[in-house]
Amino acid sequence: MKPRNWISYLALLSGLALGPYALSAAKSSHPPLEWSHIQFMFIGSVVGMLWTIGIQLIRKEPKASKLGIKVFTPLSIFMVGSGIGALATGYHYSEFTPASILFLAIGIGMLIGVFLMRLIILARYKSAL
């Protein structure tokens, strides 16, 4: 198994383990989270990943773009793991609130952004990844 796969699994497991702490952090936000905030966070995560990694497309070499993909993939997997852990904790305590799915929405948005950026980088640099 490749080392980056181990990093992804480790990111997912650590995110799952830290899910209850992510839930408590999301519940303590001021002002309290509402359902409309979740949509904004999801779309913001997709756009943020596209912008953060996409700004590297200005360069002629794909090195910085490849590094961005390698760094943000485990981070987004960690966020998904945190979201799953927070959702499971909220479900266990019968608390289905916007705070319980905040990190899951952010993580899925980040993953979508990284995936789209990977496709754009492949088209831009022709088999750079």
pLDDT of residue 75: 93
Question: pTM for the full model?
Answer: 0.86
For the chain, what percent of residues have pLDDT higher than 70?
A: 96
pLDDT of residue 129: 55
pLDDT tens-digit map of 36-71: 999 999 999 999 999 988 888 888 788 888 888 889
What does pLDDT average to over the chain?
Answer: 88
pLDDT tens-digit map of 62-119: 888 888 888 999 999 999 999 999 999 988 888 888 989 999 999 999 999 999 999 9
User: Using an 8 Å Cβ cutoff, are 13 and 80 in contact?
Assistant: no
DSSP state of 29: -
CA angle at 112 for the pair 108 and 115, rounded to the nearest 5°:
135
Annotated domain spans of the chain: 11-16+34-125
Backbone φ/ψ region at 127: left (φ over 0), alpha (ψ -120 to 50), beta: left
Residue 33 in 3-state DSSP? coil
